[in-house]
Amino acid sequence: MTTLSLEVEKLNNFINGEWVDVSEAQAVINPATGEEIVQVPLSTKEMVDEAVAAAKAAQKEWALVPAPQRAEVLYRVGYIMKERKERLSQLLTMENGKVIEEARGEVQEGIDMAFYMAGEGRRLFGQTTPAELKDKFAMSQRAPVGVVGIITPWNFPIAIATWKSFPAIVAGNAVVWKPATETPIMAYELAKIFEEAGLPKGIINVVFGAGSVVGEAMVHHEAIRVISFTGSNDTGRNIASECGKQLKKVSLEMGGKNAVIVMDDADLDLAVEGILWSAFGTSGQRCTACSRVIVHEKVKRTLEERLLAAMDKLSIGNGLDESIKVGPIINQSGIAKIKQYIEIGKAEGADLLAGGYELTEDAHENGYYFAPTLFTNAKADMRIAQEEIFGPVVSIIPVASFEEAIEVNNGVTYGLSSSIFTNDVNRVFKAQRDLDTGIVYVNAGTTGAEIHLPFGGTKGTGNGHRDSGIQALDVFTEWKAIYVDYSGKLQRAQIDVES
């Protein structure tokens, strides 16, 4: 097991292309070992003002750089990330705890996003349309919005940042980015990569610090025209209501209560694999994690037996060890929240089949570990089947039909990801139509989104915007309609020519 160390003891903000020291700081803890890795700055509101001023000044020039040239920087970012993939992955495992193979997968998502969005530098398509009048040309094109604010969570500290910052940059915006305080190292490393790739000063500005200070200051800053946020429902709602007052554009991605549906004709071994990795991968700390299994009653017993046998083989520990499959929980308050839901589940009358406790002995002594947990005979309206737990806890809900499975799947306030295991083609097509989620998987678990498709969901998961895919550009651009009249005389549109 290799352990990297950072070349600095305290991170700096990156504002206007300069590394800026901040006196106040707090420790960043490796959740696998409880050890301090580095200190993260706790910035003030004034530092946000400085970052926004730098971004505003730089953005004017950047918007005039031809988009294919803006894209060149992203290509270089992608190549540097590729060269540095192993270092980034190990540091990601150290700050977040996810196992190294998942960390490599997350860094790869960032690399893919760099090349995908760099390609957009030669597209950024608008439309040409016929005009209503003679000798007149009509078209629409995307324009940058100006300064954009991105606020990112700790569970995907590099991938989500690339989903938001790369489309913003290629579209000609400047970015002020507040990473989660728990996981600042990926932001520091990515800022260094932008610097090396030759991104002009002020186009990306990283301001570390608490959401209640730095995040709030960004949300309230009148010069930030867009906030793109991923995180908890409560924080997202507060951000949306403040942005609403200011008529500021806001894009929210706030998690899910995702289900795997297992029908009576499913390949049960495949379903077990799908449930295992989407429920316990990343220790369940994904917004796409499976936390409900909706199973046809005819196969419930067999599924439970096979799932328990597979869970028994899961190795839990420090994710830098290649043999480990489930890493730690991000921090003690994450553990406390999970424990609370275990008690809620028991009190509600669900049957605990496995897990339900914190691991504190031997190799788990200093980190934050929780045993993969399985409840069964849960009812669709129980809190454990309705609320986001963000841990390795999954509840089995038995149903009697396909129709009931769809109803239970849709009967939550979230709508991010769902999955169905079945070999019946009619059910497949009905399910992809009727499942009320932004992502639907067939014969696969609920996680593992690809960056060239829209990422986000319905209902309480968000507010109708999408990260990733071509759709991400809609968050970071304004549409402009352009009419060129080359008739040489003043033609009046919207005049009824018949009258």
Ligand X SMILES: O=C(O)CCC(=O)C(=O)O
- Amino acid making up residue 327: G
Rounded least distance, CB 252 to ligand X, Å: 12
* Tokens 């089949």, residue located: 353
CA distance 317 to 336: 19
Backbone angles phi, psi at 104, to 5 degrees: -60, -40
Determine which helix (DSSP H) or strand (DSSP E) holds 300, and give its type and residue range.
helix 300-312
Q: Helix count (H) and strand count (E) of the chain?
A: 14, 23
Considering only CA atoms, which of 230, 212, 203 is closest in space to residue 58? 203
* Closest to ligand NDP by CB, 221 or 300: 221
Name beta bridge partners: 397: 294
- 232 makes contact, choosing from ligand X, ligand NDP, none, with CB < 5 to 8 Å by partner type, with ligand NDP
User: Considering the complex, what minimum distance in angstroms separates the CB of residue 139 from ligand X?
Assistant: 35
Closer CB to ligand X, 288 or 422, in the complex: 288
Interacting partner of 254 out of ligand X, ligand NDP, none (Cβ under 5 to 8 A depending on kind) = ligand NDP
User: Are 178 and 209 in contact, with CB atoms under 8 Å apart?
Assistant: yes
Which of 14/390 has CB closer to ligand NDP? 390
Tokens, residue 320: 């830098």
Q: Known catalytic residue: 253?
A: yes
| Binding partner at 201 among ligand NDP, ligand X, none, C-beta below 5 to 8 Å by kind | none
Catalytic residue among 95, 102, 109, 253: 253
Q: Comparing C-alpha atoms, which of 206, 178, 176, 165 is closest to residue 70? A: 165
Interface with ligand X in residues 33-72 (CB under 6 A): none
Q: Residues in the site for ligand NDP, rule: CB under 6 A?
A: 151-155, 178, 180-181, 210-212, 215-216, 219, 230-232, 235, 238-239, 253-255, 287, 337, 388, 390
Q: Which two tokens stand for residue 58?
A: 């730089």
Q: Is 286 in the site for ligand X (CB under 6 A)?
A: yes
Question: How far apart are CB 159 and ligand NDP at their closest, in Å?
Answer: 11
Binding-site member from 40, 287, 299, 405 for ligand X (CB under 6 A): 287
Residues in Cβ contact with 30 at an 8 Å cutoff, skipping those fewer than 6 apart: 36, 37, 94, 95, 97, 367
Considering only 134-142, 244-252, 346-354, 444-452, which stretch makes contact with ligand X by CB under 6 A? 444-452
Min dist CB 330 to ligand NDP, Å, is 8
The reply to whether 375 sits near ligand X by the rule CB under 6 A is no
Identity (one letter) of the amino acid at 28? V
Q: Note whether 154 binds ligand X by CB under 6 A.
A: no
- Judged by CB under 6 A, which of 59, 447, 461, 463 binds ligand X? 447
DSSP symbols for 111-153 = HHHHHHHHHHTT----EEE--SSTTEEEEEEEEE-SEEEEE--
**Angle subtended at Cα 72 by Cα 68 and Cα 75, rounded to the nearest 5 degrees:** 125
Q: Which residues are known catalytic residues?
A: 253
Residues at the contact surface with ligand X, assessed by CB under 6 A = 155-156, 160, 230, 286-288, 447-449
